[in-house]
Amino acid sequence: MTPSAPPHPRTDDDWWRSAVVYQVYVRSFADSDGDGIGDLRGVRSRLPYLRDLGVDALWLTPFYRSPMIDGGYDVADYRDVDPMFGTLADFDDMIGGAHALGLRVIVDIVPNHSSSAHPWFTAALAAAPGSAERDRYLFRAGRGTEGELPPNDWESIFGGPAWTRVPDGQWYLHLFDPSQPDLNWRNPAVRAEFEEILRFWLDRGVDGFRIDVAHGMIKAEGLPDVGRTSADGRPQIELLGRGRLPYFDQDEVHDIYRAWRPILDSYPDGRMAVAEAWAESPQRLARYIGPDELHQAFNFDFMDATWSADSFRKVIDTALAESTIVGAPTTWVLSNHDRQRHVTRYGDGPVGLRRARAAALLMLALPGCVYLYQGEELGLPEVLDLPDELRQDPAFPRTGQSRDGCRVPLPWGGGLPPYGFGPDGGGPAWLPAPTTWRALSVAAQTGDPESTLELYRAALRLRREHTALPGGPDGAADPVGLSWLESEPGVLAFARTAPAGAPGLVCLVNLSGAPVTVDGGHGEPVIASQALDERDGGRMLPVDAAAWFVRPATG
C-alpha cells in the first residue's frame, strides 16, 4: 500500500478550509455485529483504512435513535445512539480512535424536523390545538368548509402534500415524509433545545456539524401558497435551487446560524459547520457562509455540472468568486447519499468510470474543501437493478425515485457477497451488492496501480504535498489560489498558485472528445487518470482523462 503523508495537525483551527472529508453513510459502511447493518464499531474498525486513504475528516450520517423511516434523518432522540448503530460508549470509542489517528469527525444534525416518534411530537398529538406542545411543530387548521383541505398548497419533497391531518382535525406540516414533522423555529424552546444538542455533541468532541436542510427551518410568515403544484404540472420541487419557495431560504434563517456560531467558536480546535442548503443562486447560498454564520455550504452546482469544459469552468469560476467575497474557500462534491453515483451520471460503464476518475483529479486539484462519498474511491456505480421490494427510500412509493442504489453496503474484500461488509466475510447486508463488486472491493483494488482506489490514494497524497499544506496556497495570502492557463477548446487547464519557492501544480482535464497534446511547459506528470500517450518526445492526454503536472519552483 502506498504510504500517505501525515494528516493535517489537529491543532490547526483552519483545517476545514482545505480538508478532504469522507462521508460515511453509517448503515452501509461496515457492520461489526453481523446484523447486516453498518454500525459505529464498524466505523471504528475501518479508521486505519481512512487514515491510509489520506482523508482529513469523516462526516457521519445520522446514527441517532430513529425509526429509520428516512435512513435516520427522522430522529427520535438527538442525544442517543440507535441500538442498531451501537451505544454512546461506542461513539466515544470511535471518535477517540479517529482523533488518535489525526482524523476529525463531523456529525449530522437534523434540525428542520424530528421523527414523529420524538417525545415532543407524541406530546403534541396528545395535547389540544393551541397548546404549547403543538407550538413546537407547525399545526394549523385546514381550509374548506370543514377544514378538510390542507392549510396551503405546499408539497412534500418526497411527493404528495406537505400536510397530514390528525384526528382532532388539525393538520401538521412535514416537508419530507409524514413521519418527519417540521419543527417550529419561531418557538424559543426549539432554538434552546438545539443549542443544547450542539453543546452535547461538542462536549463529546465532535469537530463539526453537517446541517441537514439548513435552508428550511424558517417558513414565511402566514405560510403563503406557492401558487404552483404538481396537480397543474408544475411541481414545486422544480424550484429547488432555482427559485424562491416560502418554506426555504427565508432571511430569518440566518439568525439561527448567527446564534450557533458563537457556540462553535467557544470550543477550542476549530469546530465548524457545513450547510446542506439549497438557494436560488450562488449569491444567496453564500449568505450562509462567513465569520458570523457557517463555515461552508455544499456546492451542489459542481455535482450538477454536465460533462463539458464550459459547464465545469462556469461553476468553478462562480464558486471561487463567491468564496472570495465571503472569505472562505468553497466546497466540492461529486456524490452523496441522495444522488445517483457519478460514475453512472457520467455515462455508466467504462465511459462513466473514466470520467469519474478524471473528475476526481479535477476536484482534488481545486482550492477549498472536498467532500468524498464512501465508495467513490472504489469507482462504484449506482446499483440500478435493486428489486423494488428491497428499496427503503420513503420517496419511492410516492415518486418512483429511490436513493437506495447509492446506499448499497461497501465491498471490502472476499469472494462472496456482501464482500466483507460483515464481521466474517459472509452474512447478511440490508441491501445486496451486485456480483460485479467482487472486483471492486478494497482488497481487490489495493496494490493495483490501475485501480481507482490507488488513484485516490495517490492523488490525496499529492494534494497534501502540493496544494493543501497548512500555510500553503490555501492560506489567507491568496484566497483563490487558482489561475486558468491557455488551452485548447474543451480542455480545462489551471495552475494552483504556489507559495514562493514551492513547486507549482498544474491540472489538465480533457473534455474535448479527442486526445490533446500536453504543453511541455506544464512540467512533469505526477499522476494521470489514464496513462498519457508518449509519442515523438511529446505527450498526449487521452479523451476523458485528467492529469497533474509539477512545475519546478519559481523564485
Which helix (H) or strand (E) is 312 found in, with range? Answer: helix 309-326
Binding partner at 212 among ligand NOJ, Mg ion, none, C-beta below 5 to 8 Å by kind: ligand NOJ
Cβ contact 22:378 at 8 Å: no
Choose from ligand NOJ, Mg ion, none: what does 73 bind? Cβ within 5-8 Å by kind. ligand NOJ
- Choose between 213 and 294: whose C-beta lies nearer to ligand NOJ: 213
Q: Does 404 bind ligand NOJ (CB under 6 A)?
A: no
Is 276 annotated as catalytic? yes
Are 529 and 358 contacting, i.e. CB atoms less than 8 angstroms apart?
Answer: yes
Active-site residue, 212 included: yes
213 binds, options Mg ion, ligand NOJ, none, Cβ within 5 to 8 A by partner type = ligand NOJ
Partner touching 33 among ligand NOJ, Mg ion, none, CB below 5 to 8 Å by kind: Mg ion
User: DSSP secondary structure string, 377-440?
Assistant: GGTPPP-----GGG---TTHHHHS--SGGG-SPPP-SSSSTTTT-STTS-S--SSPPPGGGGGG
Of 37 and 110, the one with the shorter C-beta distance to ligand NOJ is 110
d(CA 420, CA 418) in angstroms, rounded, equals 6
Min separation Cβ 291 and ligand NOJ, Å: 26
Of 287, 216, 280, 283, residue with least CA distance to 242: 280
CB of 58 to ligand NOJ, least distance (A): 16
Residues 112-151 that bind ligand NOJ (CB under 6 A): none
Q: Which of 31, 153, 276, 301 is catalytic?
A: 276
- H-run or E-run covering 526: strand 524-528
**From Mg ion, ligand NOJ, none, interface partner of 419 (C-beta below 5 to 8 A by class):** none
Query: Closer CB to ligand NOJ, residue 394 or residue 473?
Result: 394
For Mg ion, give the closer residue by CB, 298 or 421.
421
Of 39, 70, 155, 212, which residue is the catalytic one?
A: 212
Long-range contacts of 472-480 (CB under 8 A, 24+ apart): 472/18, 472/498, 472/499, 472/502, 473/367, 473/497, 473/498, 473/499, 473/502, 474/17, 474/18, 474/329, 474/367, 474/368, 475/499, 479/323, 479/324, 479/327, 479/329, 480/320, 480/323, 480/324, 480/367
Rounded to a whole number of angstroms, the minimum distance from the CB of residue 301 to ligand NOJ is: 17
Q: Are 359 and 342 in contact (CB under 8 A)?
A: yes
> Side chain identity at 156, as an amino acid letter?
S
Q: Does 109 bind ligand NOJ (CB under 6 A)?
A: no
- Pick what 39 binds: Mg ion, ligand NOJ, none; C-beta below 5 to 8 Å, kind-dependent: Mg ion
Q: Which residues bind Mg ion (CB under 5 A)?
A: 31, 33, 35, 37, 39
Q: Give the integer Cα–Cα distance in Å for 69 and 62.
A: 12
CB of 63 to Mg ion, least distance (A): 11
Beta bridge partners of 551: 504
d(CA 90, CA 102): 18
CB 86 → Mg ion: shortest distance, Å?
8
**DSSP states along 161-221:** BSEEE-TTS-EEE-SS-TTSPBB-TTSHHHHHHHHHHHHHHHHTT--EEEETTTT-S---T
Question: Rounded distance, CA 530 to CA 452, Å?
Answer: 11
For residue 188, the minimal CB distance to Mg ion (Å) is 39
Contact status: 212 vs ligand NOJ (CB under 6 A): yes
Q: Are 204 and 234 in contact (CB under 8 A)?
A: no
# residues contacting ligand NOJ (CB under 6 A): 9
Report if residue 176 touches ligand NOJ, rule: CB under 6 A.
Answer: yes
User: Could you tell me the smallest distance in angstroms from the CB atom of residue 421 to ligand NOJ?
Assistant: 21
User: Of 241-280, which residues contact ligand NOJ (CB under 6 A)?
Assistant: 276
Judged by CB under 6 A, does residue 73 bind ligand NOJ? yes
Q: Which is nearer to Mg ion, 37 or 202 (CB)?
A: 37
Give the C-alpha separation, 389 to 187, whole Å: 40
Least distance from C-beta 177 to ligand NOJ, angstroms?
A: 8
Q: Does 70 bind ligand NOJ (CB under 6 A)?
A: yes
Q: Which does 70 bind (CB under 5 to 8 A by kind): Mg ion, ligand NOJ, none?
A: ligand NOJ
Among 280, 338, 465, 533, contact with ligand NOJ (rule: CB under 6 A): 338
Catalytic residues: 212, 276
Q: Which residues bind ligand NOJ (CB under 6 A)?
A: 70, 73, 110, 176, 212-213, 276, 337-338
